[in-house]
Amino acid sequence: MYARTFGATTQGVDGLIISVEVDSANGMPSFDVVGLANAAVREAKERVRTAIKNSGLRLRQEKITVNLAPADVKKESAGLDLPIAVGLLAAQGKIPAAVLNDYVLISELSLEGKLRAVDGVLPMTVKARDEGFKKIIVAQDNINEALLVEGVEVFAPETLIELVEFFQGEFEIKPSTPQPDADTDDFIELIDDFSDVQGQFMAKRALEIAAAGGHNVLMVGVPGSGKTMLAKRVSTILPELTHEEALEVTKIYSVAGKLKRKGGLITKRPFQNPNHDASAAAIIGGGVIPKPGQVTLAHHGVLFLDELPEFKKSVLEALREPLEERQITISRVNGTLTFPSSMILICAMNPCPCGWYGDKDHTCNCSPLEIKKYTRKLSGPLLDRIDIHIRVPRVKYDELTSKRKAESSAAVRERVSAARVIQLERLKKYNLFCNAQMNHAMLQELCILTPEAEKLLKDVFEAKNLSARSYDRIIKVGRTIADLEDGAEKINSKHIAEAIKLRNDLDLDVQ
Amino acid sequence: MSDNTKILGNVGENIAAKFLENHGYKIIARNYRIRSAEIDIIAEIGGVIVFVEVKTRSNIRHGSAAEAVNFRKQKKIIEAASIFLQDENYCDCACRFDVIEIYSHGKDFTVNHIEDAFEVLSEI
């Protein structure tokens, strides 16, 4: 007999509904799974058979064929265990096949017949709803994730036998409600606060501007000046995630398997700081079936690259696309996938290999050649994509021991949020949300300079031989500075002057 | 194969056949041979054709009897079974592969019937 159930798998950060067709008929006993299943799915047959047996149900030994459609897409979710098991029971007449058409089943099975949580439930549920399904069956640890999607009923039986009896109409499973014991998203500990950092007013101001306008930042400074400390606190001054953003972030973490079991919506901005020996695939994403990388995990948050020149050249160059396009397209033989990567990039580096170049009280003992070699990895195109370049000097003793508490993250976040509101309003018609996303054409329209500002910029442009992209970046940063000042209509020379000051890459050897 | 083991094997197969008959099976064929393989007993119960491999042991020094039905042996039985099904026009009926272990202790025998012992593995 033939039966059909619906399961789901992930494709990039989206779900894909899989139609699981099961045929069980007379013939030489066998169990075949066809339809580009990966190892985890092919092994499903052992789990399915044992789970059914241990649930006290008996399968007839028949020729069993399972087809996963669409047949040309690689399936990689262990969550197909449950639809295969239910389909098989329906094919052998143990479950009425007609009721199965309304459900999408997403769960792995344990050998004893319990439902197990899987990754990627959120995008799969979203897809199921979009395709018109109203009822989703998941493991109990996935309830909160599935319930983030409005407009579906979620059922979470504990075991396979409960589900079988539910389909037979002999057991009642109530639609699930959010699990109270869900301690959500404390996967990033955000107890850090901007007030922890004493002094460094210039750097803090730069990071505030970066947070306000979504600009990328490069901090160059001597060892121990607080670059890392500052960067780690940037996500605390970013405005709260909106619901849509939070859903997007949660989807990514769900697919990447980084969501805690029983976890729900991620409400805090992600902060990723990969080690400098990370491969290009780890940073931008990759794999035979492409998985999101660090740039995608930092979506709507902060990607922090400490010791920037220590990263592999290939990694740094691979960053160009995600920085420019705010998404990354990964092409593999098995298909091309696009992942979002709208993050703020914060980089930190020393000015030279020994670290003391440019410091007043230490002698740098690097040769010019060594410094050149050190900074050579940072190509012009990459640095051009970083709007704000600042120097972070050593903290003075008085500042460090000052009793006066520095400004807290909450106070800074208030200003940042206000500036973001102004930008959102201005950029609404373009469907953008921060200044860093503006393109050249929009600058002409949205960033009007006062005549003095215009003259100042012209002088600097000519004196420093700036590139066209540098010019755009200065205006964008200027726009953000103006927005921070109660949204001044025009960008004046003060704003432009500060924006230029925040681009002191002009003395790096690489420009 | 020494004469002794051959005799023991035949004794075992007879015991197995009797065992099956006692349990309601109808014996269709015994020692069904094709060129390279043999099926010890072919029986039928409730419309299901059962191919039985009988293994007899007088001790477990060389592993249990069922363990001796390894993948190579399974493939041979499956090959013979599919030829039998075609020859005898059983093509669209349910079938099953069983193993019967028989252990001899002097004059006594213990019989262990393993239903659904193995299945056809696809070559995909």
What is the amino acid identity at position B5? T
Nearest of B25, B31, B2 to residue B96 by alpha carbon: B25
As a dihedral over the C-alpha atoms of residue B56, residue B60, residue B61, residue B65, rounded to 10 degrees, the angle is 50
Q: Where are the alpha helices (DSSP H) in A313-450?
A: 313-318, 320-325, 368-376, 380-384, 397-401, 409-427, 440-446
Query: What value does the mean pLDDT of chain A take?
Result: 85
- Give the pLDDT of residue B118: 85
For chain B, the domains span 3-114
What's the topology of domain B3-114? Trna Endonuclease; Chain: A, domain 1 (3.40.1350)
- Give the pLDDT of residue A511: 34
What is the amino acid identity at position B49? I
Q: Which of A14-23, A317-326, B114-123 has the lowest mean pLDDT?
A: B114-123
Torsion over CA: A392, A395, A399, A400 (sign): positive
- Show which of residues 15-34 on chain A sit within 8 Å of chain B, judged by CB atoms: 26-32, 34
Angle between helices A493-501 and A468-484 (to 10 degrees): 120
Residue A303 banded pLDDT, cuts 50, 70, 90: very high
Higher pLDDT, A438 or A335: A438
Any chain A CB within 8 A of the CB of B80? Answer: no
CB contact under 8 A, A31 and B95: no
Burial of A383 (0-12, 13-18, 19+ CB in 10 A): buried
**Along the 124 residues of chain B, how does pLDDT read in single tens digits?**
677 778 888 888 999 999 999 999 999 989 988 888 889 999 999 888 899 999 888 877 777 777 878 888 888 888 898 888 888 877 678 888 999 998 888 778 889 998 888 888 765 4
**Across A250-277, average pLDDT:** 85
Encode pLDDT of A347-400 as tens digits: 998 888 888 887 778 888 888 888 888 888 888 788 878 888 888 888 777 777
CB contact under 8 A, A61 and B122: no
CB contact under 8 A, B121 and A60: no
Calpha distance A387→A153 (Å, rounded): 46
User: Reduced to 3 states, what is the DSSP secondary structure of residue B118?
Assistant: coil
Encode pLDDT of A444-474 as tens digits: 888 888 899 899 989 888 888 887 878 888 8
CB < 8 Å to A30, chain B: 119-122
- Give the pLDDT of residue A215: 92
Which of B45, B95, B97, B116 is best to mutate for the A interface (most A CBs within 10 A)?
Answer: B95
CA distance B39 to chain A (A): 15
Task: Please say if the pLDDT value at position A509 is more than 50.
Answer: no
Nearest CA in chain B to A37: B124
Structure tokens at A52: 């059914």
Structural contact between residues A237 and A206, judged by C-beta atoms closer than 8 angstroms: no
In percent, how much of chain A has pLDDT > 70? 95
Q: Which of B92, B93, B122 sits opposite A30 (nearest CB)?
A: B122
Calpha distance A344→A239 (Å, rounded): 13
Structure tokens at A455: 């003259």
CA distance A161 to chain B (A): 23
- Show which of residues 50-69 on chain A sit within 8 Å of chain B, judged by CB atoms: 60-63
Structure tokens at A430: 């373009």
Q: B19-23 contacts: CB < 8 A, separation 24 or more?
A: B19/B100, B19/B111, B19/B113, B20/B50, B20/B52, B20/B100, B23/B113
- Give the pLDDT of residue A181: 55
Select from 3.40.50.300, 3.40.50.11540, 3.90.1150.10, 3.40.50.1370 the CATH code of A194-507: 3.40.50.300
Task: Please say if the pLDDT value at position A188 is more than 70.
Answer: no
Structure tokens at A195: 């007030």
Which of A26, A58, A59, A60 is best to mutate for the B interface (most B CBs within 10 A)?
Answer: A26
Calpha distance A489→A126 (Å, rounded): 41
Calpha distance A498→A504 (Å, rounded): 11
CA distance B60 to chain A (A): 28
Q: Where are the alpha helices (DSSP H) in A195-351?
A: 201-213, 227-232, 234-237, 243-255, 280-284, 294-297, 313-318, 320-325
CB < 8 Å to A60, chain B: 94
- Give the pLDDT of residue A480: 92
Q: Which of B85, B92, B124 sits opposite A32 (nearest CB)?
A: B124
Exposure b/e, B41-51, CB count within 10 A at least 16 = b: bbbbeeebbbb
Encode pLDDT of A475-491 as tens digits: 999 999 999 887 677 88
What's the complex ipTM? 0.73
Which of A61, A62, A68 is best to mutate for the B interface (most B CBs within 10 A)?
Answer: A61
The pTM (predicted TM-score) of the whole model is 0.78
Calpha distance A209→A480 (Å, rounded): 7
- Give the pLDDT of residue A39: 75
CB < 8 Å to A27, chain B: 92, 94-95
Structure tokens at A213: 């306008």
Architecture of domain A2-168: 2-Layer Sandwich (3.30)
CB contact under 8 A, B95 and A28: yes
- Give the pLDDT of residue A404: 74
CB < 8 Å to A63, chain B: 120
* Beta-carbon contacts below 8 Å between A and B: 35
For chain A, the domains span 2-168, 194-507
